[in-house]
Amino acid sequence: MPLIAAAVAVVVAIIVLIVLFKMVWRVAEPNEALIISGLGARSKPIDGLDSLGFKIITGKGTSVLPGFQVARRLRLDSRAANLEVNCVTQQGIPVKVRGVVIYKVGDDFVSIANAARRFLEQQGSMDGAIHELFTGHLRSIIGNLTVEDLILNRERLTSETRSSAADEMSKLGLVVDSLQIQEIDDETDYIANLGRPHAARVAAAARIAEAERDQEATQREQEAMRENAAVIRDTEIKKAEYEGQVSQAAQQARQEVILKETRNAELEAERTEKRLESEVRKPADARAYEQVKLAEAAREQRIAQAQAAATEIQLKAQREAEATRLLGEAQADATRQKGLAEAEAIKARADALARNTDAVIAQQLAEQWPQIVEAGAQVFGNVDNMVVLNGAEGIEDMLAKALTLGGTGLGVARQLLAGMNGSNGQNGTAPANAQIPTVPVEVPTEK
């Protein structure tokens, strides 16, 4: 319980402190100034003013002792006061001027102090004070100006008014942000009459200008019509040209289409030709080339074979010629050797015959007996009829007789020897072509 009571006491004390702080502490807003008066509310001396009996706070906070000090707020934002003043100009023409003044309390401490002393409890009366202040200055200034000055040079009016009221505004702690003269009216229509000559001149100038503009407009209309006609003509010409160009373009397009189709046909023909060339001509050329090459190869082979055969025949002929030559030489040599041998044999026979004729003849007869028998048989070549009486013995006896009859056998032997030895019938011998005389012989035969 004591702890709770202590906590409650602390909370109460904090709340009391917060409340007291809220009651004591005051903060000045950006558009206001705090004017604090009372016990101990003194500010430092300000240039142009003696020590104030109050304190000015702007843009910050300060403590205010309740019951001893009082804090009041002075607005520093802009205010507007409408002006409506009846004046008389230098020309004696009454005019009514309406305008507006935008003002505020100055931001410096001097202006705030002056405004606080005059308007702190009467801030709503500022507009009336400003209105009366500027009304007096406007009347005095407009009394020295003409209506023309008011109309043509309002900046002069506003500048002189602000300059004449600046000192009084400073004493009030106020500054003028803007002064605008909105309207100037007169009851005598002076301003309206003042503008009529000018308005007439302006109206005349306007009518002249309008007539000139009408004339110029008419001329311009005529020129425009001519230009329109020229434009229409040019348009028609251009249109015709464009139509011709369009027609020419269409014709060119048709020609281009025809050319393109022709080109496509040519390309198609080229493709067909290339396809035929690749599919037909080249294979045919390849086959023809193959046939030509095969024929050339066959021809070359035949030529090679013919050349080989000719070479072989030539070589064979050469070999045969060489063999024939060798054979001929051999035959010639053999013939020569044979002739030499025969000559030697003949010479030997001749020598032997000369020495022993009967022995040589007997030898020759033995060697040439078949020819001798053949020659003896020729005796019977002319016999038409032969009668053999005693058979074989009779034939043998007849042959023996035929061979020896009348020395015929010895003559035949000599002829044969002479023929074999190449004798010409000299030395008592018959020539080689001697005919053996045939003798008809009748041979008895058995019956």
CA 382 to chain CA centroid, Å, is: 127
Residues 67/69/75/76 CA torsion (nearest 10 deg): -160
DSSP alpha helices (H): ranges in 143-153? 147-152
- Report the range out of 4-8, 101-105, 200-204, 398-402 with the highest average pLDDT: 101-105
- Inform me whether the pLDDT recorded for 229 exceeds 60: yes
- Inform me whether the pLDDT recorded for 104 exceeds 70: yes
pLDDT at 170: 87
Q: Mean of the pLDDT values across residues 124-133? A: 87
Q: For 230-248, give one letter per residue: b (16+ CB within 10 A) or e.
A: eeeeeeeeeeeeeeeeeee
DSSP state letter for 60: S
- Report the range out of 335-344, 370-379, 387-396 with the highest average pLDDT: 335-344
Residue 179 in tokens: 């002064």
Render 275-334 in DSSP notation, one character per residue.
Answer: HHIIIIIHHHHHHHHHHHHHHHHHHHHHHHHHHHHHHHHHHHHHHHHHHHHHHHHHHHHH
Q: Which long-range contacts (CB under 8 A, 24 or more apart) does 186-190 make?
A: 186/93, 186/94, 186/95, 186/96, 186/147, 187/94, 187/96, 188/93, 188/94, 190/93, 190/147
Q: Mean of the pLDDT values across residues 98-110? A: 88
Round to whole Å and give the CA distance between 75 and 247: 88
Q: CB-based burial of residue 135 (10 Å sphere; 0-12 exposed, 13-18 middle, 19+ buried)? A: middle
Domain ranges of the chain: 1-75, 357-447
- Inform me whether the pLDDT recorded for 35 exceeds 70: yes
Q: Mean of the pLDDT values across residues 104-123? A: 85
Residue 281 in tokens: 């001509």
Round to whole Å and give the CA distance between 26 and 386: 212
Question: Given the DSSP bridges, would you call strands 25-27 and 79-88 parallel, antiparallel or unpaired?
Answer: unpaired
Given a contact cutoff of 8 angstroms between Cβ atoms, the answer to whether 186 and 94 are in contact is yes
CA 315 to chain CA centroid, Å, is: 74
Would the pTM of this model clear 0.75, i.e. be above it? Answer: no
Round to whole Å and give the CA distance between 67 and 146: 60
Which carries the bigger pLDDT value, residue 131 or residue 415? 131
pLDDT at 50: 56
Phi, psi of 97 (to 5 degrees): -110, 130
Q: What is the mean pLDDT of the chain?
A: 75
Short-list 41, 174, 63, 177, CA closest to 116: 174
Round to whole Å and give the CA distance between 423 and 416: 10
- Inform me whether the pLDDT recorded for 384 exceeds 70: no
Q: What is the H or E stretch that residue 83 is in?
A: strand 79-88
Q: Is 54 helix (H, G, I), strand (E, B) or coil?
A: strand
- Inform me whether the pLDDT recorded for 431 exceeds 60: no
pLDDT in tens, 267-303: 887 888 777 777 777 777 777 777 777 877 777 777 7
For the chain, give the percent of residues with pLDDT over 70.
75
pLDDT in tens, 133-144: 888 888 888 888
- Inform me whether the pLDDT recorded for 33 exceeds 70: yes
